[in-house]
Amino acid sequence: MNPSRILPQRLVIEAGRTERHYWADLWKYRELFIFLSWRDILVRYKQTVIGVLWAVLRPFLTMVVFSFIFGRLAKLPSDGIPYPILVFSAMLPWQFFASSLTEASNSLISNANMLSKIYFPRLVLPTSAVIVSLVDFFISFVILAIMMVWYGIWPTWHLLALIPLTGLAFLASMAAGLWIAALNVEYRDFRYIVPFLVQFGLYVSPVGFSSSIVPENLRFWYSLNPMVGVIDGFRWAIAGAQTEIYWPGFALSLFVVFALLASGIWYFRRMERTFADVI
């Protein structure tokens, strides 16, 4: 094993210029990144007896309740697809977003000891937290597959769009996660804000209903919520031709995701230098 692969042979640290190695380091520390994700996944499913079951049960039960309340009681339109499919196809990305946001925002605090004892690009922590949520996300896909068979919905070529859309959901989670993780180090009361944000977001995002019921004149601005674009995309990919994507809105969501991500990375990088001093 060639040791030079791990750290540069020559390292220069200068006041205010540490970041020169940053992006190269991020690549060099990829193994640590894999190990941390692996550790968190292992621990997550070791600790809870019903680990995997829990990942499946939570979105499923929420879906049942939502289908009943919005579909049966409120009789909201379902764009011609079974209401449970409408809800569950939105539940997938939403659940992923919510749990990554929660995990990522706590990732720095819960690894505070590591932060103050060892060097590594701090970006590794929130990113691996999001990866862990990705596992739950894939498990939920199995449920979706079963539901699609049950309702006799056959996937179209649209399904391929799930690959970039999952990527988009990932980026949206990272964007919000980075912001809140860095803020959380500085302001500990963010731990109260995150659960509220997640709960609030569930109702503000088109999870229990189709975004087509949003009034036409508001629809564009509704997409300022980056998850609107992601959820609409998921429905379109899963339910096939019945739904349509509102492109201006989708473009806006896309823009918001990338703007948040870029600013999130910027803010995180800025705060990162002092994490070890503050935490």
Partner 1 sequence: MSSTAISVQNLGKCYKIQHQAQRGVKNYRTLGETLSSALTAPFRKLTPGFRDQRSEIRPPTSDLQSSNSNLPSSSRSEDFWALRDVSFEIPKGKVVGIIGRNGAGKSTLLKLLSRITEPTTGRIEMEGRISSLLEVGTGFHPELTGRENIFLNGAILGMPRAEIRSKFDEIVAFAEVERFLDTPVKRYSSGMYVRLAFAVAAHLEPDILIIDEVLSVGDAQFQKKCIGKMQSASEQEGRTVLFVSHNLQTIRQMCERVILLKKGEVSFIGDPHTGINGYLNQNADEQSAAIDLRAYPRQRDHDGAQLLSLKFMDEQGVVAPRVPWATNLLVEVRFRLDRRFRSLDIPMAVTHAEGLRVFSEAYSDQYEKLDLEPGEYIVHLSIPLRFFKLESYFFAIGLFDDGRYGDFIDGLPMPEIFHGNADTHMESHRWGVVRIPVAWKTVQSVSANNLPIFL
CB of 65 to partner 1, least distance (A): 32
In terms of CB distance, is 76 or 279 closer to partner 1? Answer: 279
Q: Report yes or no: 136 and 55 within 8 Å, Cβ to Cβ.
A: yes
Cβ-Cβ contacts under 8 Å for 257 (sequence gap 6 or more): 168, 171, 172, 175, 226, 229, 230
The Cα diameter of the chain in Å comes to: 67
Tokens of 124: 């590794």
- Contact positions toward partner 1, by CB under 8 A? 1, 3-7, 9-16, 18, 31-32, 34-36, 38-39, 42-43, 46-47, 113-120, 185-190, 270-271, 273-274, 276-279
- C-beta of 18 vs 242, nearer to partner 1: 18
Pair 141, 91: CB distance under 8 Å: no
**Residue 100 CB, nearest distance to partner 1 (Å)?**
20
Q: Which is nearer to partner 1, 10 or 75 (CB)?
A: 10
Query: Of 27, 25, 62, 80, which Cα lies nearest the Cα of 140?
Result: 62
Nearest distance from C-beta of residue 215 to partner 1, angstroms: 34
Cα separation of 22 and 42, whole Å? 28
- Nearest Cα residue to 72 out of 232, 208, 239: 208
- For partner 1, the closer of residues 189 and 216 by Cβ is 189
Smallest distance from partner 1 to CB 174, Å: 22
Q: Which is nearer to partner 1, 157 or 192 (CB)?
A: 192
Distance separating alpha carbons of residues 58 and 63, to the nearest angstrom: 9
- Rounded distance between C-alpha atoms, residue 207 and residue 65, angstroms: 12
Contact indicator for 230, 165 with CB cutoff of 8 Å: yes
Shortest Å distance, C-beta 130 to partner 1 = 19
Give the position of tokens 């500085």: 186
Considering beta carbons, is residue 33 or 88 the nearer one to partner 1?
33
DSSP, collapsed to helix, strand or coil, labels residue 122 as: coil
CB of 59 to partner 1, least distance (A): 25
Closer by beta carbon to partner 1, 22 or else 221: 22
> Are 61 and 128 a contacting pair, CB within 8 Å?
no
> Shortest distance, CB of residue 139 to partner 1, whole angstroms?
20
Residue 15 makes CB contacts below 8 A (sequence gap 6+) with none
Give the shortest CB-20-to-partner 1 separation in angstroms. Answer: 12
Q: Which is nearer to partner 1, 200 or 221 (CB)?
A: 200
